[in-house]
Structure 1
Amino acid sequence: MPAGTDKDERRRAMSAFLRSRRERIQPEEVGFAPGGRRRTPGLRREEVAQLAGVGVTWYTWLEQGRDINVSAQVLEAISRTLRLDRLERNHLYTLAGLVLGPAKGDCASLPGSVQKMLDQLSPYPAQVLNSRYDVLAFNDAYCKVIIDIDAIPIEERNLLWLTFASKEWRCAFADSDSIKLHMVAAYRAASADHLGEPSWQDLTGRLLASSPLFAELWERYDVAAPSSKVKVLNNERVGLLRMEAVNLWLSQLGQLRSTVYTPVDEETEAKLRLLVDG
């Protein structure tokens, strides 16, 4: 990869992110008069600069993706001005190349003990994902209840791909719209740590080319973190299943998490056992 490519891509990503956050704030929300002719929605660059206490030219260069130095203090002022939440703020810092916490490791393979743990969780479906939504491990209950991932080629075992582009995706979540929105936002947040990496670029490019919905959600520049929530699955054999998806972080293995689907009522518990144990 040519020198500077990763840094250039980070600046371009930060430029688009700042612009998207600026355009969502209405002038009257921060004390400016709503009148006047505006070429774009939201705040003007000079208004952001004024509120953040930085020079207009400097902020313009920052949003244009120019190669300028930026301090944590200035980013903090911009974060407050743009009303960024914690995840958005962390995303901005990552794009700027400023570290907020310890460096995150990665893991190329999983120890056998992880698979044993997943198998012991049956009849509760469970899987291990990385931040790219690659499925690295799963138990038999996951195949029987969520999707038969074992039947899918290894190179396609990615939840984003299965959700947005693959015809192999057969499970039907009742709240699929909100799930898809959150998945793309979490993927964008994680991608800030992997700008310029071929595997991430390839997945994003294939998703953009294959799914108009992914492309639409990607252009929103929303960021989020994986979260635990109740999901409703319509299984073709037993009907509705109400399960809470709980994330367990495997901290010693880097950016990996195990997602375990646990029933929220006795009816779902009975249906899970019927599906898995027969």
Structure 2
Amino acid sequence: MDRRELAAFLRGRRERITPAEVGLPAGPRRRTPGLRREEVAQLAFISAEYYTRLEQARAPRPSREVLAGLARALRLSDAERAHLHHLAGAPPGPAPGPPREVRQSILDLLHRLPQAAAIVVSAAYEVIAWNELAAALMEDFSAQPRRDRNLVRRAFLGPHPQGRRLYGVTDAEAFARNAAEGLRATAARYPDDPEVAALVRELTAGSEKFARLWASHEVSAETTLRKTFQHPLVGPVTVNCDVLDIADRDQRVVIYTAEPGSPSEEALRLLSVLGTQRMDVPG
């Protein structure tokens, strides 16, 4: 354990985070850049006294639970999390669950694709990032609670707004089967993640179809290369589906594009103008 380097690293990470980033008020008498020590301790669920001793290079080696709390409180990247563990003399083990933090370069990529609908999906099939055209084509994900942004849950348990299962895609059945198989592989990679385990229990209890697929132990999920969305405003939109794997985050970027010059390309162009506004609501 390198106490001095650990103390300096914690202090540097603490000072770069603004209170607003973690939902705390700045307050009129704040004299330190970033967070206060007691605020980090509160976010990490450890005592303020112990955290202070860590920053003063006087504390004993922190446990893995404490390190996990500090990584969460300080919003560390994967590389920073690994560095924190090495400084503490406790090399990191595998990530406890599917990573949900999306690299800034990937977020920038989504917004540089104005003619394509693009989303980022975690290993647990949660939509964790999207661009404006994806929101217009599928739904306004920002208006949905996190649980309803999980595509495998949506496939088997709903909700199905306007009677459209999975945004009216033509391959809903194939996607559901592939998602069940993919989720089994995810559960094997993250056996200790409570969220993945709870999702599997919920799906098994709530869907006989999922329960049958789960019992088959299949893991050979396939990728659909083309599908059609039945959109309530612009009608059918047929798109090509390209998937880019982000191996270090266990995430996927899914990009939907229409054939140049096709009616679907015109529909996407119209959706880019309409955005997520609801045309069925009287003005």
Mapping of residues 157-236 of structure 1, within 5 Å: 157-167=149-159, 170=164, 171-225=167-221, 227-236=223-232
Deviations 1:49-88 (A, max 9, x none): xxxxxxxxxxxxxxxxxxxxxxxxxxxxxxxxxxxxxxxx
- Alignment partner, residue 140 of structure 1: 132
- Is 1:258 aligned with 2:253? yes
Q: Which one has more relative contact order, counting CA pairs under 8 Å at least 6 apart? A: 1
Gaps of 5+ in 1: 1-102
Secondary structure of the residue that 1:127 maps to in structure 2? strand
1:156 aligned residue (148, 165, 182): 148
Q: CA–CA distance in 2 between the matches of 1:264 and 1:210?
A: 38
Percent of aligned pairs with the same amino acid: 25
- Alignment partner, residue 3 of structure 1: none
Conserved? CA contact 1:104–1:255, under 8 Å: no
Mapping of residues 1-278 of structure 1, within 5 Å: 107-167=99-159, 170=164, 171-225=167-221, 227-251=223-247, 253-264=248-259, 266-278=262-274
The number of residues matched between the two structures is 175
Secondary structure of the residue that 1:123 maps to in structure 2? coil
Q: CA–CA distance in 2 between the matches of 1:231 and 1:155?
A: 24
> Relative to structure 1, is the Cα distance of residues 221 and 123 closer, same or farther in structure 2, using a 3 angstrom cutoff?
same
CA RMSD of aligned residues (A): 2.2
Q: CA–CA distance in 1 between the matches of 2:135 and 2:240?
A: 17
Structure 1 stretch 120-129 or stretch 147-156: which is displaced more?
147-156
> Relative to structure 1, is the Cα distance of residues 111 and 230 closer, same or farther in structure 2, using a 3 angstrom cutoff?
same
Cα distance, 1:188 vs structure 2: 1.5
Q: CA–CA distance in 2 between the matches of 1:217 and 1:197?
A: 21
Structure 1 stretch 108-117 or stretch 198-207: which is displaced more?
108-117
Cα distance, 1:230 vs structure 2: 0.5
Amino acid corresponding to residue 256 of structure 1 in structure 2? Q
Conserved? CA contact 2:187–2:197, under 8 Å: no
Cα distance, 1:261 vs structure 2: 0.6
Cα distance, 1:273 vs structure 2: 0.5
Q: CA–CA distance in 2 between the matches of 1:235 and 1:121?
A: 20
Conserved? CA contact 2:120–2:127, under 8 Å: yes
> Relative to structure 1, is the Cα distance of residues 238 and 117 closer, same or farther in structure 2, using a 3 angstrom cutoff?
same
Secondary structure of the residue that 1:234 maps to in structure 2? strand
Amino acid corresponding to residue 194 of structure 2 in structure 1? P
Conserved? CA contact 2:100–2:122, under 8 Å: no
Amino acid corresponding to residue 181 of structure 1 in structure 2? R
Amino acid corresponding to residue 129 of structure 2 in structure 1? A
Instruction: Report the TM-score when normalising by structure 2.
Output: 0.56
Deviations 1:72-130 (A, max 9, x none): xxxxxxxxxxxxxxxxxxxxxxxxxxxxxxx9866452233322211121231111111
Amino acid corresponding to residue 167 of structure 1 in structure 2? P
Deviations 1:202-222 (A, max 9, x none): 010111122222222222222
> Relative to structure 1, is the Cα distance of residues 149 and 168 closer, same or farther in structure 2, using a 3 angstrom cutoff?
farther
Conserved? CA contact 1:152–1:168, under 8 Å: no
Structure 1 stretch 188-197 or stretch 134-143: which is displaced more?
188-197
Q: CA–CA distance in 1 between the matches of 2:201 and 2:139?
A: 25
Amino acid corresponding to residue 187 of structure 1 in structure 2? L
Q: CA–CA distance in 1 between the matches of 2:174 and 2:232?
A: 21
